[in-house]
Each structure stands twice: as C-alpha cells, then as structure tokens.
Chains A and B, each alone.
Chain A
C-alpha cells in the first residue's frame, strides 16, 4: 500500500513555568492511502499534539519540535517555512475540530467560509467557488443548500455546523483529513449520522483519515487501524480487529475492559488504578509501569521496545519478551479473544 504520510521518531516539548513538558516522546507511524487510522488514549497522552504538529498548529512561543520528521509528499513538514506550509494546510491536509460551536467564524456567512480555501488554493473565481460551495453543502447532506449558503453559523444546529466544518475541510479534496474528536460534542444520533457521512465521503474522494477519539465504540465503527497512545508514546498499533480482539499491551487491556459492553453485568468494572504520568518528569522505564498490575522489575528500569505480534500488529510491553512470564489478561479481554477472527487462542 502507498504511504501518504510518515511520522518518524517525533519528539515535542512544551516550555512552561514548571519546566519542560515532554509531551511527545518518540512517536512513529505511517498513514496509508485511503485508510482510517484511529488514535486513542487518555487526555494528555499526546494525541492532539501529534496531529497538531502535522498541521504545524502548535503555538510557536512555547512549543518545540525537538527531533523527528513528518514526511508528506517527499517533504519534511517540520522544516517548511510558514508560507510553504500555508500552501499545504487546508489543501492537501485539512482538519476537523472537536467543537463545531467554536470552529466556525460567527461573523461570516457559511458560504464565504467554504469559498475561502477554494479561492485561496485553487484560484477559483468567486462565482465558481460559490457554485462549488453549494455543491459541497449538498454533498454533506444539508437540505436547501442554495438558501443555507447565505446563512450564518448561529442559524445552524450543532450537527449541521459539524457538516459545514466537514464541507470546508473537504473543499479542496485533501489527501489527508485529520479529525480531532469530531463527534465528541454531538448527541449519539447525530454522531451516527456524521460518522456515516465521513465514511461515505472517504469512499468518494479516497482521502486518508486520522481520527482522534477516546470513544472506543466510535473507533470500532470507523477505524481500519488503531494506534493506542500513552504518556506521549504509541504503545500498541494494529488493525482494528487485532486491537479489539487480541490486544497485547496491559494499557489496552485496561482501556477495553473499563468500558462496559452489553454482556457486562454485576461484576465490578475493571478500572485502571492511579493517574497518567507526569510528563514534566517522565518516569524511567515503562511510563505505564506504576499503573500496571502486571508490572515486572524490568519495566521500572528499561523502556520496552516494540515487539512484533503480526505484520500489522506491534506492542511495546516487556510481557511479549520471550523470557517474560505468561500472564492472564482480564476476563473481558479473554471473552474478546474468543471472537478474534481466524486465530488460535492461547497457543
């Protein structure tokens, strides 16, 4: 498969009054053409910082890319000038933000906001851009687009606004679409509509999507592949089936079993004890060790490398080392393993 975007050993720090916060500590991943990659993790795990760095949207006065590359179209985005970046942002790579209530300009008509990237990036005339804006509104399922194009954001509901945001993001047929919690602020029924719309549009224009969310239900619905982040690192990556039915990292186990499914009854919910690590002073060894019920001595001393589970599935935990003791994952995870398509359990 063709690689659209490659992130290589990215390190990002924020300079604060309390000291240097090492928000991203060596993140690497690839994005393939036409796929949806979901990034999951708790707040503060570095999901949003990673994607904002791709778009170069991090505040310049206090953030610093300490190392690594973001390769897109043969160029390293971290090295581009602002001007060069502006040609990519909104054209080849665009973004949908979490809150549709604040990501539109309240003083501008919807139509003008959609026309902006078309006129800037594609040198369209005003008339042509307007026609395209109406077309885009129709594409994202807004009724009466000829009338709606001249309305202001406050005249739209939350779900409709998010559709407008999607229309703006898709205006130039981007190669990469970054969606940062696009449905978190919406109701479940509206969320279902927006997810369906995104999947539908992805098929039509063959874009690759990076989808950030902490809702594992949404991940299961949209993702081809999943990357799990913890403490500024990716700790496990694999296809959706591999992550949901055959997870290997104890943090992924914790995430999956702390969500009740329809079969969870009176048993106590599994909860990950403790709190996320302090990235001002990242712990030595495995950052998850203090919360890990399966912690071993080596976790406290040395950072685990990625161990290969399959060609598409990697996890960074010492439990996969050949010398590690065999441990039993939590009940909820074992229940899932039996559903893993085409795999021998407990070999």
Chain B
C-alpha cells in the first residue's frame, strides 16, 4: 500500500470530568491513535467506556483536559480565534445517535440543512441556497418536496438521512458518526449504512464510526479500536481484529455478540473479562505496543512477547 496520509492525529487525549474532585471521572484516559485520509475508523466498547466522549472531544464539543488533536497537522484544541474555529468546523461534522432529538422541531427541513450554509456564507442568493438544499436532499435519497416539511413528519430512517444531509451541507472532509444507526430498525439500518458507504466513495470522506453493534462496525470499518474504561485496549484492521483478537477484553466482547446463526450459537462459549487476570506489577509499564504491523494492544512487556508468539502461529 502506498504511504497513507494522516488526516487526524490524536495524541494522549485526556478528558476528565469533575477534575480534582473526589468524584473525578477519567472518561478518556491517555488515548492516542491516527485516522488516515479516506478510511473508516470504528470505535467500539460498552456504554460508559468513553467512546462517545472521545468523539465529542475530538470535534471540540468538550475542551480536552490534556493531549492534542492534530487535524492536518494543526491542533484543534488550544487558543483559537473565532474565525479559525469556524474554518475548522467546516471540515469536521458530526452525525448524532438519536434522529428524534437531533433535529430542531421548529425548523423546516430546508432551514435545518441550510443552517451550516448560512453560517459559513456558502450561498450567494436565496435561490442558490435552496438549490443546494435540494441537491443535498437528493444525495441522501429524499426529494425536493421534503424541504418544506417539519421533522415530525419523517420516520427515524428519513430523519437520519436529514442528519446526514445537514452534515454534508458544508462539504466536510471528516465526519464523526456517533451511533448513527442504533436507534433505527434493522431493515432501515442497512439503508443508512449503504448510504454512508456510498457517500464515502463519492466524496472521499473519512469517518470515525462509533457504535456498539460489532457486526455492523466490522462491515463498515477499515480499522477498529476497542475501548474499555477510557482506554483503547486494542486497535487493528477490522478483519485482523476479528480473526486474531489478542486482548482478553476484546475476546470477551467478541464472544458476547450473538450471531444470526443458530448452529454456531448452540456451541458458543462465552468468555468473561476480569482485569485482575493481567496481574500487572506496581511499576510495570503498560503501554500501547504494536504486536504485528498495524495491530496494537495495550499490554506489559511479558504479555507483549506472549502475544507476538501467539500471532506467529
């Protein structure tokens, strides 16, 4: 593969809530990873593991407690003028989980979608603005007539399409999709995922796809990171992660997903994860190490050697 361009570098990102107080929560604790241009990076984990917080901190909905997010080499956090932030906001957009709560019920669809266009002054006339809205509606598989309706007139799947149209309105390069399909029915999920995949190819988008449905994540992602208690414990190409999960938490997570396959379900052995099994010594450095090219695991030196031997088999 040719040298891939890093679009986003996340370095030692920390997001603590109630910092310094007794009820301090380390929602994101020293997380580092890169996102390459044009790829889909999946982020999975249980509720409360910090995957959504990671996404929200990257796009600066929260100010990071520590660490850096470099977008095209420029730090997203740190002092920025309003103008700089605005420029940056055009490049990065977000699609939210709940299509019922993420659209303003008092705005017409045209105004929901055109909000970004207005803020960034992307349309010179009213006519151009509406043309852009129509075009976006068509891109996501809705039609012109929908522009004058209100959000309550749409089904969940259609609303999520509107959410996608809104994100696309400012022609972003990078989209954070925070559980975009969790609230949708199975048959509609496939429609939305296919749409996201199509748009990725047509517009050369890069996604950070946050979800807890692992089979869908595997389908859409090039690489997947597994989060546990604010840390990424394993990161690997999607196929590799499923074929050769190394961290015991990843193994337990994979063993817990029921597959739509009664024969394999009858023989399923479930693994449970107990953090005590690592038996780390007090000063033992537990770091993110590359076991095989592209396959990273959070582990100690001894575990690292063990994983390497395991992967060679």
For residue A158, which residue of chain B has the nearest CB? Answer: B47
**Interface mask (B197-228 → A, CB under 8 Å = 1, otherwise 0):** 10000000000000010111011000000000
For residue B49, which residue of chain A has the nearest CB? Answer: A187
Task: List the one stretch of B121-129, B182-190, B302-310 in contact with chain A.
Answer: B182-190
> Contacts A268-B197, A269-B193 given: A192-B256 contact, CB under 8 Å?
yes
> Contacts A189-B46, A260-B216 given: A272-B187 contact, CB under 8 Å?
yes
Interface residue? B294 (CB, 8 A): no
Question: Can you offer 24 A-B residue contacts whose CB atoms are under 8 A?
Answer: A42-B185, A42-B188, A188-B46, A189-B253, A191-B258, A192-B270, A196-B270, A217-B215, A217-B257, A217-B259, A218-B258, A220-B261, A220-B265, A244-B261, A258-B189, A258-B190, A260-B215, A260-B216, A268-B194, A268-B197, A269-B190, A270-B190, A272-B190, A273-B191
Question: Is there an interface contact between B258 and A195, defined as CB atoms closer than 8 Å?
Answer: yes
> Contacts A189-B46, A269-B193 given: A256-B263 contact, CB under 8 Å?
no
For residue B216, which residue of chain A has the nearest CB? Answer: A260
Query: Cβ of B116: which chain A residues have Cβ within 8 Å of it?
Result: none
Interface residues on A, range: 35 or more
Interface residue? A20 (CB, 8 A): no
Least Cβ–Cβ distance between B203 and chain A, in angstroms:
17
Least Cβ–Cβ distance between A231 and chain B, in angstroms:
13
Query: Cβ of B242: which chain A residues have Cβ within 8 Å of it?
Result: 262
Least Cβ–Cβ distance between A224 and chain B, in angstroms:
10
In Å, the complex CA distance between A216 and B264 comes to: 13
Query: Cβ of B187: which chain A residues have Cβ within 8 Å of it?
Result: 42, 254-255, 258, 271-272
For residue A239, which residue of chain B has the nearest CB? Answer: B262
Interface residue? A62 (CB, 8 A): no
Interface residue? A221 (CB, 8 A): yes
Least Cβ–Cβ distance between A3 and chain B, in angstroms:
23
Query: Cβ of A268: which chain B residues have Cβ within 8 Å of it?
Result: 194, 197
Question: Is there an interface contact between A271 and B256, defined as CB atoms closer than 8 Å?
Answer: no
10 smallest A-B Cβ distances: which pairs? A217-B258, A271-B190, A258-B190, A260-B219, A216-B260, A192-B256, A272-B187, A221-B258, A187-B46, A269-B190
For residue A185, which residue of chain B has the nearest CB? Answer: B47
Interface residue? B300 (CB, 8 A): no
In Å, the complex CA distance between A320 and B228 comes to: 49
Least Cβ–Cβ distance between A43 and chain B, in angstroms:
6
Question: Is there an interface contact between B265 and A221, defined as CB atoms closer than 8 Å?
Answer: yes
Question: Is there an interface contact between B259 and A262, defined as CB atoms closer than 8 Å?
Answer: yes
Interface residue? A259 (CB, 8 A): yes
Query: Cβ of B194: which chain A residues have Cβ within 8 Å of it?
Result: 268-269, 271
In Å, the complex CA distance between A223 and B265 comes to: 10
Interface residue? B248 (CB, 8 A): no
Least Cβ–Cβ distance between A245 and chain B, in angstroms:
8
Interface residue? A240 (CB, 8 A): yes
Query: Cβ of A254: which chain B residues have Cβ within 8 Å of it?
Result: 187
Query: Cβ of A260: which chain B residues have Cβ within 8 Å of it?
Result: 215-216, 218-219
For residue A218, which residue of chain B has the nearest CB? Answer: B258
Interface residue? B155 (CB, 8 A): yes
Question: Is there an interface contact between B263 and A42, defined as CB atoms closer than 8 Å?
Answer: no
State which of A219, A261, A273 has its C-beta within 8 Å of the C-beta of B215. Answer: A261
State which of B219, B255, B257, B268 has its C-beta within 8 Å of the C-beta of A269. Answer: B219
Interface residue? B252 (CB, 8 A): yes
Query: Cβ of A217: which chain B residues have Cβ within 8 Å of it?
Result: 215, 257-260, 265
Question: Is there an interface contact between A240 and B262, defined as CB atoms closer than 8 Å?
Answer: yes
Interface residue? B66 (CB, 8 A): no
Query: Cβ of A218: which chain B residues have Cβ within 8 Å of it?
Result: 258
For residue A189, which residue of chain B has the nearest CB? Answer: B256
Interface residue? A215 (CB, 8 A): yes
Interface residue? B67 (CB, 8 A): no
Interface residue? B157 (CB, 8 A): yes
In Å, the complex CA distance between A214 and B186 comes to: 7
Least Cβ–Cβ distance between A265 and chain B, in angstroms:
8
Interface residue? A339 (CB, 8 A): yes
State which of B157, B185, B258, B262 has its C-beta within 8 Å of the C-beta of A241. Answer: B262
Query: Cβ of A269: which chain B residues have Cβ within 8 Å of it?
Result: 190, 193-194, 219
Least Cβ–Cβ distance between B38 and chain A, in angstroms:
15
Question: Is there an interface contact between A275 and B157, defined as CB atoms closer than 8 Å?
Answer: yes
Question: Is there an interface contact between B186 and A42, defined as CB atoms closer than 8 Å?
Answer: yes
In Å, the complex CA distance between A245 and B265 comes to: 13
Interface residue? A59 (CB, 8 A): no
Interface residue? A322 (CB, 8 A): no
In Å, the complex CA distance between A272 and B157 comes to: 12
In Å, the complex CA distance between A258 and B47 comes to: 25
Interface residue? A127 (CB, 8 A): no
Which residue of B47, B191, B265 has the most chain A CB atoms within 10 A of its CB atom?
Answer: B265
Query: Cβ of A256: which chain B residues have Cβ within 8 Å of it?
Result: 260
Question: Is there an interface contact between B215 and A214, defined as CB atoms closer than 8 Å?
Answer: no
**Interface mask (A228-272 → B, CB under 8 Å = 1, otherwise 0):** 000000000000110011000000001110111110100011111
In Å, the complex CA distance between A43 and B47 comes to: 23
State which of A190, A241, A255, A262 has its C-beta within 8 Å of the C-beta of B186. Answer: A255
In Å, the complex CA distance between A215 and B215 comes to: 12
Interface residue? A341 (CB, 8 A): yes
In Å, the complex CA distance between A196 and B270 comes to: 10
In Å, the complex CA distance between A29 and B197 comes to: 40
State which of B185, B193, B215, B259 has its C-beta within 8 Å of the C-beta of A220. Answer: B259
